[in-house]
Structure 1
Amino acid sequence: MFSFFRRIFSPPGTAVEAAPVAPHSSNAPRIYARAEHCISRAQISENALKVLLRLKKADFEAYLVGGCVRDLLLGREPKDFDVATNASPEQVKQIFRNCRIIGRRFRLAHVFFGREIIEVATFRGSEAEAPDQQVVHEDGRLLRDNVFGTLEEDVWRRDFTVNALYYNIRDFSVVDFTGGMSDHSAGVLKLIGDPQQRYREDPVRMLRAVRFAVKLSFSLHPDTEQPIYELTDLLKSIPSARLYDEVLKLFLAGYGVQTFEMLRHYGLFAILFPDTDRCLASQEQDFPRLFVIRALENSDARFNDGKTLTPYFLLAALLWEPLTVSAQQRIDHGENETLAYQNAANEVLGRQVKITAMPRHITQSIRDVWFLQQKFTRTVGSRPFRLLEQPKFRAAYDFLQLRAETGGADPELVAWWTGFQEADEDERHRMTAPPKGGGKPRARKTGRYRSRSKQPNSQ
């Protein structure tokens, strides 16, 4: 992993290797004939081929473009297949009855084949040709852009050179205007156009740069990397619902640990999870960072094993330390422990949803996992039986295990609950019987398992 980060990170001030790709270059595209690349029609979705061939038959241009071409060149199976054409969305809909036009910011045609959707985008044109079709925010963000154009114009509206490669269904060649094939071979992620302007048009491109760099094991070109350090605050202008979607793409795709480290390197994690970042900064060598890393490793392993991922579990882990810090401060001021955790949860989640608009069912599931942690300490009488029946019991138990693995909970408590789940009914009753002599059972602590003396104050 460390060699990976040495490759993709370069500190501020790194010398620039080459000028950024300039829009509207006068150079003709480089055409890579079928014999010069590895893409085969056998690798392409049957439904995507249907769309390409029917557009071709209707005398329209039709290309595969974007991530699917990039991934096919890497020998990977694309998640989606996107098509670019000179047909308007309305013309696409005339050709395909199973089509729906969507989008406001960018109007697109979705062609439905059962569960598979082939996205068809009309070539986007130059903003100078139809400024009335664009809406630009005062900070430079592009809010609406429905300017249609030619293939040559469309290229310069895409984000990264490796995402601006076009597979032509007419002769099975790859069309490259930006040097994307060379960057692809070199493992370099480079923005098309002026990086400052492109990030201002859409600050989410900074998150996409991180996501693609990690996913592809590419390095960021110095010109693409340098502005990120100074433009992170632009993300604060992005709607919280969109940032929530980006967080899921960043952390639930099988490479969450590397993504987390890279986001922190550029200061982007602090924008997405400011409370968590403050806790990590003040306790870098202790429980919080170890717990977050372990939770991300757990999610990555589940993804790579083909298991289901639940966003609320990882989000509960990312926000756990801010919750415990806030709750402990309230307890120190005399607040009841249960009430302290409830109020702390309201406080932490209330701030976070303003940044990443988590749906209500997600925040409720996060609360369930958090509040069940206190109930695990009650191992006598009927309470363990009732806890076992809670819908979020398994997730909360896994959360308790993660805490114990990183010093945040008593391993003996985890062992007790593991045994309780595996025991038969008679054994469970023996395990939950009150202590002999009628003494009152001593409650276990619900906070961090490590000694408080080892935990520096986080605020």
Structure 2
Amino acid sequence: MARLRDKEHQAYLVGGAVRDLLLGGHPKDFDIATDATPEEVHALFGNSRIIGRRFRIVHVRFGREVIEVTTFRGHHDDTEATTGAKRSSRGLLLRDNVFGTLEEDAVRRDLTVNALYYDSGSFEVFDQVGGLDDLEARQVRVIGDPATRYREDPVRMLRCLRFAAKLGFNVEKSSGAAIPRLAALLDDIPPARLFDEFGKLFLTGNAQATLRLLREYRCFEHLFPDSARLADSDGFYDRLLDAAMGNTDQRIRQEKPVTPAFILAAVLWPAVCERRQQLENQGEKPVPAMHGAGQEIVAQACQRIAIPRRFSMPMREIWEMQLRLPRTEGKRAIELMSKRRFRAAYDFLLLREQAGEDCSGLGAIWTRLQEEHGPIEIVDSPDDRRPPRRRRRGGRRRPAPPA
């Protein structure tokens, strides 16, 4: 900020860092807003790069820290002829590189509590949209007309609910009322972007509260339609999902590692069980039925949320190992404990028991076996080993023989 001001640019700390400081918290990320264009910022910082297409921003790296610098956004009209802006036929903002002033930038942001600007030179906080009042009222409110803002970017509905869960705030009445009506717009969001949002929703320490809001405002069914349908029809799955989220939040509070694979395994478990039962009813044996169900459900889920293979493969191993956990005798038990995914599969078994499923006391049995045998060397499964890459031969390609 000091360097930008030295070059006669405006520069403010903006967004979550200001909000968290005002609430007495400790910010982890710092965003800067400025009147300098991305090219001007990039020219001032050799340790920076311009990223983005829909919104061009600059990442400035200081050691391990990355500071995100954005140029003030300006107003735009509804025509594609507007310089730097473009919308889809349904109002989705496809490209937006219209620059403006601080006042214009404030009203273009998503939420009032994230639109506070701090000037480190004058030690002042600038509030253009009533963010300080909403912090005092402990509510999350969308800036502008909620329906219009959600149509511009449906992910704003997820952000609204995510910050309400994170802060323990209420969702302002008009901001919340528009979400169930427009939740279907989430179907237009690219699956890769929804996977990024999935991590922010469920892997930042507020998964349990976030899940409740997603279900209350009818967004969960547009992320995981089959699981939402089955969760509505069976109290066990409700308890399973709630327990999975609560356990994930606890691990994050304890600074233990978490992985999308485990929580996705829990979220999709209802659909996997249903499809497995259908395949068994058609004559499949339990193990092939579970294998086929896992493949199908992951493929379907990837149409909505692009789950990378590094997570989908462990998910399927966790599911398939549930059928092997009843084998608690002799060498088979020792061999199973040596598998890389055993610990995750064991934790998943405990989760099922925690949700009220009768697993014939397997959780206690496997707990005792691990205590008796102590640490066991982990052996990679075939799926964990990558096949060797084929070496390409060098040299020029031989010309084809004459016809």
Q: Same fold (TM over 0.5)?
A: yes
- How far apart in 1 are the matches of 2:264 and 2:98? 38
- How far apart in 2 are the matches of 1:100 and 1:132? 23
Q: CA deviation at 1:408?
A: 2.3
- How far apart in 1 are the matches of 2:367 and 2:358? 14
* Structure 1: 4+ residue segments shifted above 6 A: none
Question: What's the TM-score once normalised by structure 1's chain length?
Answer: 0.79
- How far apart in 1 are the matches of 2:243 and 2:131? 36
Q: CA deviation at 1:197?
A: 0.6
1:257-289 Cα shifts (integer Å, max 9, x gaps): 111111111110111111111111111x3x211
Which residue number in structure 1 is paired with residue 400 of structure 2? none
8 Å CA contact 1:400–1:409 kept in 2: the answer is no
8 Å CA contact 2:47–2:62 kept in 1: the answer is yes
- Structure 1 window deviating more from structure 2 (405-414 vs 83-92): it is 405-414
Q: CA deviation at 1:384?
A: 1.4
- How far apart in 1 are the matches of 2:164 and 2:335? 46
What SS class does the counterpart of residue 226 from structure 1 fall into?
A: helix
Q: CA deviation at 1:293?
A: 1.1
1:388 counterpart letter in structure 2 = M
- Counterpart mapping for 1:18-167 below 5 A: 52-128=1-77, 131-167=82-118
- Counterpart mapping for 1:245-394 below 5 A: 245-283=196-234, 285=235, 287-394=236-343
Which residue number in structure 2 is paired with residue 404 of structure 1? 353
Q: CA deviation at 1:413?
A: 1.8
Identity %: 48
Q: Which runs of 5+ in 2 are unaligned?
A: 377-403
1:416-435 Cα shifts (integer Å, max 9, x gaps): 2112112149xx9xxxxxxx
Which residue number in structure 1 is paired with residue 372 of structure 2? 423
- How far apart in 2 are the matches of 1:424 and 1:368? 23
Q: CA deviation at 1:314?
A: 0.7
- How far apart in 1 are the matches of 2:300 and 2:53? 29
- How far apart in 2 are the matches of 1:385 and 1:217? 45
1:157 counterpart letter in structure 2 = R
Q: CA deviation at 1:366?
A: 0.2
8 Å CA contact 2:232–2:238 kept in 1: the answer is no
Question: What's the TM-score once normalised by structure 2's chain length?
Answer: 0.90
1:434-453 Cα shifts (integer Å, max 9, x gaps): xxxxxxxxxxxxxxxxxxxx
Q: Which runs of 5+ in 1 are unaligned?
A: 1-51, 429-459
- How far apart in 1 are the matches of 2:18 and 2:164? 16
Q: CA deviation at 1:72?
A: 0.8
1:40-95 Cα shifts (integer Å, max 9, x gaps): xxxxxxxxxxxx11111111101011111111110111120000001111111221
1:346-389 Cα shifts (integer Å, max 9, x gaps): 12111101101000111001011111111111123422122111
What SS class does the counterpart of residue 227 from structure 1 fall into?
A: helix
1:252 counterpart letter in structure 2 = L
- How far apart in 2 are the matches of 1:234 and 1:185? 31
2:102 counterpart letter in structure 1 = L
8 Å CA contact 1:404–1:411 kept in 2: the answer is no
- How far apart in 2 are the matches of 1:117 and 1:409? 48
- How far apart in 2 are the matches of 1:89 and 1:72? 27
1:160-193 Cα shifts (integer Å, max 9, x gaps): 1111111112311011111111111111211111
- How far apart in 2 are the matches of 1:307 and 1:136? 42
- How far apart in 1 are the matches of 2:360 and 2:160? 40
8 Å CA contact 1:240–1:353 kept in 2: the answer is yes
- Counterpart mapping for 1:122-271 below 5 A: 122-128=71-77, 131-271=82-222
- Structure 1 window deviating more from structure 2 (121-130 vs 343-352): it is 121-130
- How far apart in 1 are the matches of 2:297 and 2:204? 25
- How far apart in 2 are the matches of 1:359 and 1:217? 31
8 Å CA contact 1:99–1:111 kept in 2: the answer is yes
- How far apart in 1 are the matches of 2:139 and 2:246? 26
Q: CA deviation at 1:409?
A: 4.4
